[in-house]
């Protein structure tokens, strides 16, 4: 069965490869994660006074865009409204002024965000929660809530110029309800025909397709799995979102950070199956991206610049198969071999024991190979090709280097 041709916006989204997720809101002041209102059993009356202390005094959209670009990211998805119902934009009294403009902040943070993204060449995407703990109508009068939801989304689609997409989260909270997605998505297509529409299916339904207007499936946490698009009525992209520690919103006592090598390997694992990697930051209560997260992002960007090159963005899943964690991506001209667990070359007294060097085996190589060289320094590698089998003599890391995953560029005969 045929694989459908991706629409332009979906193809462009796939080629972005890496994005930043931002969870920021009133909850950030408490430093206990984005679900603290619900987890702690706080009523609206107990929680809403945080509006009076939410200044976001250090929220600097231009700096956030600079950090995202340094990390090699091509788009940013920000929480315009999370489940607590508080909006980072001027809600025009749709929710009684429960927003940044009518808080101690006194600013439209989404206006600042969009302007900074446009200036910096980053695609702005709007996260908008559908689960809502603030609106009484969510539990008591669902049709009224859906009208509020649609009006809010229409406001976002008409007040900020061209946007990259809408990223919804929360339909899983009322799985048996009719969310009237036809109306909601028609509103988006009316005002933002080129915007991506994504609706997070949650932890229990990773990778599941939904409404016909959806443009990408989601994988929350973990690792994404390959998609079989044969016979699909529409080509869907894939995206995996992940936290740096164990919370989406700022957790001041959450020290369980993933390592930089793990983030590098996760990015590679996402691209192996053609999924984007949406990596989250949780700014503190004042709006700062905390130093640990900034350093990790810049480190990831250094790897992308040194090793990833264009293949991280435009390389597609390949039929070429490697052994163990090794795999390949391809574009029209080249293949890119992603090789893991290499050793550092040098005196045994100063190098840490690690993986091996030597011949790495790849199968299903259908084209005749012309050359293989490391993408980071251009060093030519010896290889042997027999039929569709390819053995590449992978040298170790030069002393002073440890790239975690090293990429070899394969050129083919004309």
- Averaged over successive runs of 10 residues, the pLDDT of the chain (414 residues) comes to 90 97 98 98 98 98 98 98 98 94 98 98 98 97 98 98 97 95 98 97 74 93 86 93 97 97 97 97 98 98 92 95 95 94 66 65 96 95 96 92 96 92
Residues 304 and 326 in one domain: no
Within a domain: residue 161?
yes
Whether residues 225 and 345 fall in one domain: no
CATH number, position 383: 2.60.40.1180
Residue 2 falls inside a structural domain: no
Contact 405, 307 (CB under 8 A): yes
Number of domains in the chain: 2
Q: Is residue 1 part of a domain?
A: no
Same domain, 242 and 367: no
State whether 238 and 344 are in the same domain: no
**Within a domain: residue 268?**
yes
SS3 track for the chain: CCCCCCCHHHHHHHCCCEEEEECCCHHHHCCECCCHHHHCCCCHHHHHHHHHCCCCCCCCHHHHHHHHHHCCCCEEEEEEECCCCCECCCCCCCCCCCECCCCCCCCCHHHHHHHHHHHHCCEEEEEEECCCCCCCHHHHCHHHHHHHHHHHHHHHHHCCCCCCEEEEECHHHHCCCCCCHHHHHHHHHHHCCCCEEEEECCHHHCCCCCCCCCCEEEEECCCCCCCCCCCCCCCCEEEEEECCCCCCCCECCCCCCCCHHHHHHHHHHHHHCCCEEEEEECCCCCCCCCHHHHHHHHHHHHHHHHHHCCHHHHCEEEEEEECCCCEEEECCCEEEEEEECCCECCCCCCCCCCCCCEEEEEECCCCCEEEEEECCCCCECCEEEECCEEEEEECCECCCCCCCEEEEEEEECC
Q: Do 291 and 337 share a domain, yes or no?
A: no
Using one digit for the tens of pLDDT, what is the confidence trace for 17-47?
999 999 999 999 999 999 999 999 999 999 9
State whether 322 and 304 are in the same domain: no
Answer whether 0.85 is exceeded by the pTM: yes
On whether both 128 and 231 belong to a single domain, the answer is yes
Q: Please report, for residues 193, 303, 403, 405, 411, the alpha-carbon distance to residue 342 in angstroms, rounded to integers and kept in the order given.
A: 46, 15, 9, 8, 22
Instruction: Please tell me whether residues 348 and 385 are part of one structural domain.
Output: yes
- For 272, the domain range is 8-314
User: What CATH number should be reported for the domain holding residue 61?
Assistant: 3.20.20.80
Contact 78, 88 (CB under 8 A): yes
pLDDT (tens digit, 9 = 90+) per residue, 194-251? Answer: 999 999 987 676 768 889 999 999 998 878 988 888 888 899 999 999 999 999 999 9
Please tell me whether residues 271 and 187 are part of one structural domain: yes
Claim to verify: residue 376 and residue 275 sit in the same structural domain: no
331 plus 365 within the same structural domain: yes
303 with 404, same domain: the answer is no
pLDDT score of 345: 74
What confidence score (pLDDT) does residue 349 get? 39
| Domain end (from 314, 341, 358) | 314
Give domain status of residue 180, yes or no.
yes
């Amino acid at each position: 069965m045929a694989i459908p041709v991706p629409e332009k916006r979906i193809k462009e989204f796939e080629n972005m490869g890496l994005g930043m997720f931002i969870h920021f809101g009133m909850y950030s002041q408490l430093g206990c994660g984005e679900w603290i209102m619900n987890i702690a059993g706080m009523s609206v009356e107990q929680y809403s006074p945080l509006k009076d202390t939410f200044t976001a005094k250090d929220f600097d959209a231009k700096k956030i865009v600079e950090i995202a670009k340094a990390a090699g990211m091509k788009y940013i998805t920000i929480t315009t409204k999370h489940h607590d119902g508080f909006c980072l934009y001027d809600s025009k009294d749709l929710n009684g002024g429960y927003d940044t403009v009518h808080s101690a902040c006194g600013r439209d943070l989404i206006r600042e965000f969009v302007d900074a993204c446009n200036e910096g060449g980053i695609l702005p995407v709007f996260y908008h929660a559908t689960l809502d703990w603030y609106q009484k109508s969510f539990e008591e009068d669902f049709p009224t809530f859906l009208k509020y939801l649609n009006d809010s989304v229409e406001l976002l689609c008409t007040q900020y110029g061209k946007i990259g997409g809408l990223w919804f989260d929360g339909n899983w909270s009322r799985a048996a309800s009719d969310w009237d997605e036809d109306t909601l998505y028609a509103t988006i297509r009316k005002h933002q025909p080129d915007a991506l529409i994504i609706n997070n299916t949650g932890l229990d339904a990773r990778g599941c397709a939904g409404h016909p207007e959806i443009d990408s499936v989601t994988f929350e946490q973990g690792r994404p799995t390959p998609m079989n698009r044969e016979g699909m009525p529409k080509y869907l992209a894939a995206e995996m979102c992940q936290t740096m520690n164990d919370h989406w919103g700022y957790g001041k006592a959450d020290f369980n950070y993933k390592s930089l090598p793990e983030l590098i390997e996760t990015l590679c694992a996402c691209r192996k199956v053609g999924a984007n990697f949406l990596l989250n930051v949780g700014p503190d209560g004042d709006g700062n991206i905390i130093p640990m997260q900034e350093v990790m992002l810049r480190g990831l960007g250094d790897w992308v610049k040194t090793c990833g090159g264009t293949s991280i963005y435009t390389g597609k899943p390949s039929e070429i198969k490697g052994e163990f964690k090794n795999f390949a991506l391809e574009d029209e001209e080249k293949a890119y071999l992603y090789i893991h667990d290499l050793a550092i070359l040098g005196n045994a007294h100063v190098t840490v024991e690690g993986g091996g060097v030597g011949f790495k085996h790849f199968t299903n190589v259908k084209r005749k190979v012309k050359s293989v060289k490391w993408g980071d320094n251009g060093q030519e590698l010896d290889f042997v090709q027999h039929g569709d089998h390819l053995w590449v003599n992978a040298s170790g890391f030069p002393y002073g280097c440890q790239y975690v995953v090293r990429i070899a560029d394969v050129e083919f005969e004309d």
